Amino acid sequence: MNATGTFLVAKAAARVMIAAGTPGSIVNISLISGKVRDPTLAHYSASKFAVIGFTQSLAREVAEHGITVNAICPGIVATPMIDHLARAWGRSVAEFV
Amino acid sequence: MEARLVDGLGRGQTHWIRPPPQGMSLSARPFGRTETRVMAQIKGHRIFLTGAGGGMGRCIAAMFAKRGATLGLTDSSERDLGQTIASLGAEAGIPWSRVLDVTDASAVDAAVRGFAAEAGGLDLVVNAAGILAVAKVVDMDPAEWRRVLE
Q: What is the pLDDT of residue B119?
A: 96
The closest CB to that of B144, out of A43, A68, A74, belongs to A43
Cβ-Cβ contacts under 8 Å, A4 against chain B = 102-103, 149-150
How many CB pairs (< 8 A) connect A and B?
Answer: 142
Active site residue A44: yes
Q: What is the pLDDT of residue B22?
A: 56
Full DSSP string of chain B: --EEE---SSS---EEEPPPPTT--GGGSPP-HHHHHHHHHHTT-EEEEESTTSHHHHHHHHHHHHTT-EEEEEES-HHHHHHHHHHH-GGG---EEEE--TT-HHHHHHHHHHHHHHHTS--EEEE-------B-GGG--HHHHHHHHH
Note whether B82 and B104 are within 8 A (CB).
no
Residue extents of the structural domains in chain A:
2-96
Per-window interface: B 40-79 vs A, CB < 8 A: 48, 50-51, 54-56
Q: Which run of H or of E encompasses A71?
A: strand A67-72
Per-window interface: A 49-88 vs B, CB < 8 A: 50-51, 68-70, 72, 74, 77, 79-81, 84-85, 88
Share above pLDDT 70 across residues of chain A, in percent, rounded to a whole number: 94
Give CATH 3.40.50.720 domain extents, chain B: 43-149
CATH of A2-96, one of 3.40.50.720, 1.10.3720.10, 3.30.365.10, 3.40.50.300: 3.40.50.720
For the stretch A87-97, pLDDT in tens is: 888 888 777 66
Asked if A27 and B124 come within 8 Å (Cβ–Cβ), the reply is yes
Query: Which residues of chain B fall below pLDDT 50?
Result: 1-20, 26
Q: What is the pLDDT of residue B18?
A: 47
Residues in contact with B91: Cβ distance below 8 Å, sequence separation at least 6, in sequence order? none
Tell me which CATH homologous superfamily contains domain B43-149: NAD(P)-binding Rossmann-like Domain (3.40.50.720)
What is the chain A residue with the closest CA to B102?
Answer: A5
C-alpha B92/C-alpha B103 separation (Å) is 28
Q: What is the pLDDT of residue B21?
A: 52
The closest CB to that of B112, out of A3, A12, A47, belongs to A12
Q: What is the pLDDT of residue A38?
A: 78
C-alpha dihedral, B20 to A27 to B58 to A33, nearest 10°: -90
pLDDT above 60 for A21:
yes
ipTM: 0.89
For the stretch A32-83, pLDDT in tens is: 766 667 788 899 889 999 999 999 999 999 999 999 999 998 887 778 888 8
Q: What is the pLDDT of residue B112?
A: 98
Inform me whether the C-beta atom of residue A97 falls under 8 Å from chain B C-beta atoms.
Answer: no
